């Protein structure tokens, strides 16, 4: 069994995920001994259950959005820990811990500063035709503005080395932060790569996750900006 990744911190934005967060953390802790959850003004027991499961928990007094939660978590890792890698990871169980670990090990082995997860590098993930079309269009728009050539610009699973993470300063608090973080990481000119990942579209994650309408709204924001 591979050794735990003690030089990496999982950063998990957390908003009203009390039903699943303990299970997500318990699974992740087998590989990632360092986890920080940023509770973004949850109105349920998310923070208490995350803490009980073994994560460090930071809390926003009010809901500021996923971008703000990620920024708080990144700043915590860079400013208060010796961690070498930040791994952004969703709270709803969509991401695979094995994928996250493989991405960290790729960054370690190949001296990469950034590894972006992509659901489009293999055929394991089935997002549906409409969502796929919106996501692919968002990729094209993001690539035009950033100069990068990604296949999946709105995937929340990323590995960011400490030097790259220090250059992340998110201002888009809602879901549009996904394009902003790509832009800021691209500007670092540090070495990056994509890695194929599996996204679990469960009944729970579909109910909790980003709707097709929100995806379209993000696309409109990208085109306007």
pLDDT of residue 222: 53
For the chain, domains (ranges, CATH) are: 8-224 (3.90.550.10)
d(Cα 153, Cα 159) in Å, to the nearest integer?
14
Determine the pLDDT at residue 139.
62
Q: Using the 8-state DSSP alphabet, how is residue 3 labeled?
A: P
Q: Please give the order of strands across the beta sheet that includes 192-196.
A: 56-60, 35-40, 8-14, 85-88, 158-161, 114-118, 192-196
Q: What is the pLDDT of residues 57-81, one digit of tens each?
A: 999 999 999 999 999 999 999 999 9
Q: What is the pTM of this model?
A: 0.86
Judge whether 124 and 47 are in contact, CB under 8 Å.
no
H or E segment and range at residue 36 = strand 35-40
**Are 159 and 104 within 8 A, CB to CB?**
yes
Give 150 or 209, the one with higher predicted confidence: 150
Predicted pLDDT of residue 220:
56
Instruction: Say whether pLDDT at 142 is over 80.
Output: no
Residue 224: count other Cβ atoms within 10 Å of its Cβ.
6
Higher pLDDT, 10 or 211: 10
Q: pLDDT-based confidence at 31, cuts 50/70/90?
A: very high
Rounded Cα distance between 167 and 188, Å, is 7
Q: Identify the pLDDT of residue 42.
A: 98
Residue 195, pLDDT > 80, answer yes
pLDDT at 151: 85
117 has a pLDDT exceeding 90: yes
| Beta bridge mates, 26 | none
What is the DSSP code string of 74-102? HHHHHHH---SEEEE--SSS-S-HHHHHH
Q: What does the block give as tokens for 184?
A: 């800021």
């Amino acid at each position: 069994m591979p050794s735990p990744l003690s030089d990496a911190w999982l950063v998990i934005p957390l908003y009203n995920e009390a039903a699943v967060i303990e299970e997500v953390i318990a699974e992740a802790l087998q590989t990632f001994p360092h986890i920080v959850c940023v509770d973004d003004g949850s109105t349920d027991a998310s923070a208490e259950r995350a803490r009980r499961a073994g994560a460090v928990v930071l809390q926003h007094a009010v809901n500021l959005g996923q971008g703000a939660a990620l920024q708080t978590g990144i700043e915590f890792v860079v400013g208060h820990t010796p961690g070498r890698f930040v791994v952004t990871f969703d709270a709803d169980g969509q991401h695979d811990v094995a994928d996250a670990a493989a991405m960290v090990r790729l960054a370690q082995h190949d001296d990469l500063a950034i590894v972006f997860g992509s659901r489009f590098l293999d055929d394991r993930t089935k997002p549906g035709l409409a969502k796929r079309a919106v996501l692919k269009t968002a990729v094209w728009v993001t690539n035009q503005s950033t100069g990068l050539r990604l296949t999946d610009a709105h995937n929340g699973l990323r590995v960011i080395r400490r030097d790259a993470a220090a250059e992340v300063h998110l201002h888009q608090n809602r879901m549009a932060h996904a394009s902003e973080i790509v832009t800021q990481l691209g500007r670092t000119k540090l070495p990056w790569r994509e890695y194929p990942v599996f996204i679990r579209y469960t009944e729970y994650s579909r109910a909790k996750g980003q709707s097709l309408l929100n995806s379209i709204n993000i696309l409109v924001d990208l085109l306007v900006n």
